[in-house]
Amino acid sequence: MDLKVEDIYKCPEGHKASIVWISENENTIAVRCPYEHFVKVEKVAIRTKSSSSYRNHATEEREIFTKDMVFLIRI
């Protein structure tokens, strides 16, 4: 294996990510992926202008994505 920092390597979802760290024994690397990754579904409160009190507690589920995630990969 002949990898070095800043080389392109696939993230677990198959995007082109870049290597940011390689362990001393070279069996683990960290890659940072610039693409968005699904993280979780989160319940968020919906703000309404309605004055009825129960509406103020309404929530909706929203999918949370994040960019620039770092993955540790065993190679």
Q: Give the binding site for Zn ion (CB under 5 A).
A: 11, 13, 15, 33, 35
Which residue lies nearer to Zn ion by CB, 5 or 46?
5
Q: In whole angstroms, what is the distance from residue 59 CA to residue 73 CA?
A: 36
**Min. distance of Cβ 28 from Zn ion in angstroms?**
18
CA 4 to chain centre: 23
Identify which of residues 29 and 33 has a Cβ nearer to Zn ion in the complex.
Answer: 33
Q: With H, G, I as helix, E, B as strand and everything else as coil, classify residue 55.
A: helix
- Please state the closest distance from residue 13 (CB atom) to Zn ion, in A: 4
